[in-house]
């Protein structure tokens, strides 16, 4: 995975029309898995992987 392709939580949330706080909370709760977590505790996301995870999460709640 190329680091330059990874998005911050804010960038990923903006791209998907989600609240940054929601995305962070779901990651902390284990509902979503970020591609990496930096040593400083920040999440980095691959947008396509995140979309896949969100689709699976939505199917679980339907």
Residues 25, 46: Cα–Cα separation, whole Å: 17
Residue 60 has pLDDT above 90, yes or no: no
Q: Which CATH architecture has domain 3-61?
A: Orthogonal Bundle (1.10)
Residues 3, 61: Cα–Cα separation, whole Å: 31
The residue extents of the domains of the chain are: 3-61
pTM across the whole model: 0.86
Question: So what's the pLDDT on residue 45?
Answer: 98
Neighbour-count burial of 14, counting CB atoms closer than 10 A to its CB (0-12 exposed, 13-18 middle, 19+ buried):
middle
């Amino acid at each position: 995975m190329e680091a330059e392709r990874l998005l911050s939580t804010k960038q990923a949330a903006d791209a998907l029309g989600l609240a940054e706080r929601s995305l962070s909370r779901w990651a902390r709760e284990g509902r979503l898995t970020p591609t990496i977590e930096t040593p400083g505790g920040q999440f980095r996301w691959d947008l396509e992987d995140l979309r896949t995870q969100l689709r699976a999460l939505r199917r679980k709640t339907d």
